[in-house]
Amino acid sequence: MAAGSARYVRYILFAFFGLAVIYFITNSDRVVDTSKSTVPGTVPGHTSPATDHAQSPSGSGSGATKGDEKTSKPKPNHGPGLDPADYPMAMTPNDPSWNDLSGIKDGPRMNATFVTLARNSDIWDIARSIRQVEDRFNRRYNYDWVFLNDKPFDDDFKRVTSSLVSGKTHYGEIAKEHWSFPPHIDQEKAKKVREDMAQRKIIYGDSISYRHMCRFESGFFFRQPLMMNYDYYWRVEPSVELFCDVHYDPFRFMHENNKKYSFVLSLYEYVETIPTLWDSVKKFMKNHPEHIAEDNSMAFLSDDGGDNYNHCHFWSNFEIGSLNWLRSKAYTDFFESLDQDGGFFYERWGDAPVHSIAAALMLKKDEIHFFNDIAYYHVPFTHCPTGEKLRADLKCHCNPKDNFDWKGYSCTARYFEINGLEKPEGWSGQQD
Ligand SMILES: Nc1nc2c(ncn2[C@@H]2O[C@H](COP(=O)(O)OP(=O)(O)O)[C@@H](O)[C@H]2O)c(=O)[nH]1
Ligand SMILES: [Mg+2]
């Protein structure tokens, strides 16, 4: 009897010990999980916005968060260094894994980042843009995002943007010499131009900051310290919209197809803002014939073999491009030559014609890409793919009637023609 009850006591003790061990394991796990979200405004896998000025463009393997390790789920198989051949991209609905839009996408990542130039006051307008880019693409890829400003970003801006971006966020303040008048500019002459443009009601004609912005985007964003270790960028502005799912990685598409510059909208530039830009370009072409590509897109820019500029340009508020190309001697020689001529201040040269002319003259035709499947809006123009099936496949929410591509003021038809490309289904009904 005594031996029997001792046995029961032993069973009870074993059971109690077992329960205690289980309780301890579960509880300690919860403590670790909670601790990763104790820094306000941060998300697992992000650096704290208050301290994050470090450079760690990792090609974004950052989807593997602590949480994944603790719950011992299989680690997402993505990041730099994986063999692309093992992870073919789904480019059409017929390709396997086309419909796999949940979770983090397996496969290689490019050394790439989103980049946004913004003021603190742009916070809610850029929040809208980020949310759409994340929902339509980046939540599955977790690429980094670099924010640049001529003033320090405030904590609100950092907190809100970091909470929305799925990759790492970095915040950079632009050096004075990249956001000011170069010494050779005659201040009196530049002032008179602004006054005259104000009278003629030319958009942003009297603005100094807009001119610094255009010069910065033309010549300096790609050589900011935070951008130096990346190979590709995707420019995102406040208040833009993405209307369709992006099923594949456009950075990887650029890399694998040797594309250096891309666009979704093109149009004619306001003549009043660039009266002498083409003269400067012709001077550059004469001084640097070595930088002009043989199979270039001069026919996109000029209807008379280069004598006159037809004002066509790619709209640079959307760009996915190669940073190494912008940092090349060809592009930097081009920018330096234009900058010396002073038109960023004596006129109001925009970064869109500057990038576009450079791409059209110094890249081979097939290094420039039109992303028909990235549907996009920046006031006041929309790129919405023609072709009902494509829009349904991509779950687009744009009104096809808003598509600007085939209207008279767009240059996209010209791009198609000079490249011998077949226009997409439904284009001919959209010409007016
Ligand atoms: N930090 C900073 N960003 C600016 C300034 N002016 C314009 N930007 C940014 O530069 C980009 C182009 O400016 P935006 O006002 O959109 O010009 P628009 O698209 O040509 O009408 C946007 O990303 C703006 O947030 C400025 O003075 N400071
Ligand atoms: Mg804009």
pLDDT at 412 exceeding the cut of 70:
yes
Considering the entire predicted model, what is its pTM? Answer: 0.84
The residue that leads in pLDDT, 199 or 425, is 199
Output the CA–CA distances (angstroms, integers) from residue 194 to 273, 353, 387, in the order listed.
11, 20, 45
Name which of 179-193, 344-358, 414-428 the model is least confident about. Answer: 414-428
The residue that leads in pLDDT, 12 or 271, is 271
Q: What is the distance between the alpha carbons of residues 123 and 201, in angstroms, rounded to a whole number?
A: 28
Q: What is the distance between the alpha carbons of residues 411 and 427, in angstroms, rounded to a whole number?
A: 14
pLDDT tier for residue 20 given thresholds of 50, 70 and 90: low
Q: 174 CA distance to ligand 1 centroid (A)?
A: 14
Ligand 2 ion: nearby residues, β-carbon < 5 Å: 237, 317
Q: What are phi and psi of 48, to 5 degrees?
A: -60, 130
pLDDT tier for residue 407 given thresholds of 50, 70 and 90: very high
pLDDT at 257 exceeding the cut of 50:
yes
Angle at which helices 277-287 and 351-362 cross, to 10°: 30
pLDDT tier for residue 248 given thresholds of 50, 70 and 90: very high
pLDDT of residue 75: 55
Write the residue with the smallest CA distance to atom 27 of ligand 1: 209
Pocket test for ligand 1, best of 115, 116, 119 (most atoms within 8 A of CB): 119
* Sign of CA pseudo-dihedral 61, 62, 68, 69: positive
Q: 236 CA distance to ligand 2 centroid (A)?
A: 9
Q: Which residues are catalytic?
A: 319
For residues 3-31, average pLDDT: 59
User: Is residue 374 within 8 Å of residue 266, measured between CB atoms?
Assistant: no
* CB of 317 shorter than 6 A to ligand 1: yes
What angle is formed at CA 198 by the lines to CA 194 and CA 200, rounded to 5 degrees? 115
pLDDT tier for residue 220 given thresholds of 50, 70 and 90: very high
Average pLDDT value over all residues in the chain: 87
pLDDT of residue 34: 26
Write the residue with the smallest CA distance to atom 28 of ligand 1: 119
* CB of 302 shorter than 6 A to ligand 1: no
Name which of 112-116, 203-207, 330-334, 425-429 the model is least confident about. Answer: 425-429
The residue behind tokens 């093109």 is 266
- List residues bridging with 239 in a β-sheet: none
The residue behind tokens 């008279």 is 408
Q: 238 CA distance to ligand 2 centroid (A)?
A: 6
For residues 171-191, average pLDDT: 98
pLDDT tier for residue 24 given thresholds of 50, 70 and 90: low
* CB of 238 shorter than 6 A to ligand 1: yes
The residue behind tokens 């839009």 is 101
**Which residue, among 191, 221, 218, has the nearest Cα to 206 in the 3D structure?**
191
pLDDT of residue 133: 98
Ligand 1 atom with least separation from CA of 122: 25
Pocket test for ligand 1, best of 146, 207, 211, 213 (most atoms within 8 A of CB): 213
pLDDT of residue 10: 75
**Which residue, among 62, 176, 108, has the nearest Cα to 52 in the 3D structure?**
62
Give tens-digit pLDDT for 59-91: 333 333 333 334 454 555 887 778 888 898 989
Give tens-digit pLDDT for 283-301: 999 999 999 999 999 999 9
Residue 8, token pair as written in the block: 């029961």
pLDDT tier for residue 21 given thresholds of 50, 70 and 90: low
Residue 84, token pair as written in the block: 């692309």
pLDDT at 383 exceeding the cut of 90:
yes
pLDDT tier for residue 48 given thresholds of 50, 70 and 90: very low
Write the residue with the smallest CA distance to atom 24 of ligand 1: 118
Write the residue with the smallest CA distance to atom 4 of ligand 1: 118
In 101-231, where do the E strands start and end? 107-108, 112-117, 144-149, 169-173
Examine residue 182 and say whether the peptide bond preceding it is cis (omega within 30 degrees of 0): no
For residues 27-35, average pLDDT: 32
Helices (H) and strands (E) counted in the chain, each on its own, are: 15, 14
Ligand 1 atom with least separation from CA of 350: 20
pLDDT of residue 98: 87
pLDDT at 353 exceeding the cut of 60:
yes
Q: 207 CA distance to ligand 2 centroid (A)?
A: 15
* CB of 150 shorter than 6 A to ligand 1: yes
Name which of 61-65, 179-183, 359-363, 409-413 the model is least confident about. Answer: 61-65
* CB of 237 shorter than 6 A to ligand 1: yes
Residue 179, token pair as written in the block: 């956001």
